[in-house]
Amino acid sequence: MRSIQTHIFCVSPFSSPGNVLRSAPTKDDQKTGARLTETRQRLFSDRCLYLGSRAVRDKVEWLRVGSCDKLIWKPEAPFELADLAIVGNISDEDFFFTADAGWRPGAMFAPSLEDSRASASLGAPDVALFAADFPEALENIRYLQNVVAPGTTSCRGPFTGPDEAPRVKIRHIFFEVCSMYSFCFTEYHQPILGPEFQIDNWPAYSKEGQAAVERMARLGTHKVIPLPAYDMHGDLINPRFYRARLQGALVELHFSLTHWRIGSKKESSKVDVFVAELDYLRVLVPPKPTPVTPRKRKVSAVDPTPSPSPSKRSRMSSPAGPCLGSPVKKVVRK
């Protein structure tokens, strides 16, 4: 996997598609705009496989590896997986980049938590600077699909969502089986990451999920691979905050692409399956703040406002006092 040597990221944009600036940009806006521009320039450099550029087509090729095809850098010996880059907003829909991948008992393709696959989808960016690149990115993915599966009539992935607004589905596997070459207990006692990223402290959001995590930790059968997702400051995101920090965020995302042709021996019944596997993710613009749901209004059968005392009621009935019901005339006795 190609390592990323230089990272120049932005904090937030000061414009978005279809929006018109109504006031002059502030210093922070200008700084943000410069960082966004610098990020885009880096992505268009020769050392990046940015899907927003058609030049990506000449930098990669498919290589047959066992029963699947892997997209690799061209030419590389030994081969190196191509880390395709794209910028977009992580969709609110189909968001399963939570620590337990949204797993629930009885899932058809994941009978146990360790079999689950976390996923999320990337939609068009809401920042004007990158918005024009997204349609080009989709076209480049379709081009790469057609190279390895020309004329296919049955294709699954990596696209999802409606045809008029397609999104790119990205996958990540949290749990990896420990083997004789991967000693889970040794890695735990000499951790590279903090304790919040270890399987002993890994969160799950159902009783069954938590029990599965505890079992894997106790038996040492699996190790956990956190999302390679970093916030605007470059810090690895805590798994308890995946949804809060990622859902709706504008991100720079790198992924590898794999192709399988599956089905029966009959060629006409086979399906071309494409999977985009997450390599790296950096938040460029955090999610927009979620409005707090207003407190539910309740109607009481009895007036909840306490009745004032007689002397206080007398003062409150004057024109200068608070308005609580109809004013009562004050009778002065001679």
- Structure token pair of residue 83: 């880390």
d(CA 10, CA 85): 16
Please, are residues 231 and 245 in contact by the beta-carbon 8 Å criterion? yes
pLDDT tens digits, one per residue of 79-124: 899 999 999 999 999 999 999 988 887 776 777 888 889 999 999 9
Q: Look at residues 199, 233, 203, 232 and name the one whose alpha carbon lies nearest to residue 216.
A: 199
CB atoms within 10 A of CB 167: 23
* pLDDT on residue 7: 36
Q: Token pair 């498919």 is at which residue?
A: 62
Question: From CA 97, how far away is CA 95, in angstroms rounded?
Answer: 6
| Full-model pTM | 0.76
Classify domain 27-104+116-172+227-285 by CATH architecture.
Beta Barrel (2.40)
Q: Which residues contact 168 (CB under 8 A, 6 or more apart)?
A: 86, 88, 121, 122, 137, 138, 141, 158, 159, 160, 276
% of the chain beyond a pLDDT of 90: 50
Domain spans of the chain?
27-104+116-172+227-285, 175-225
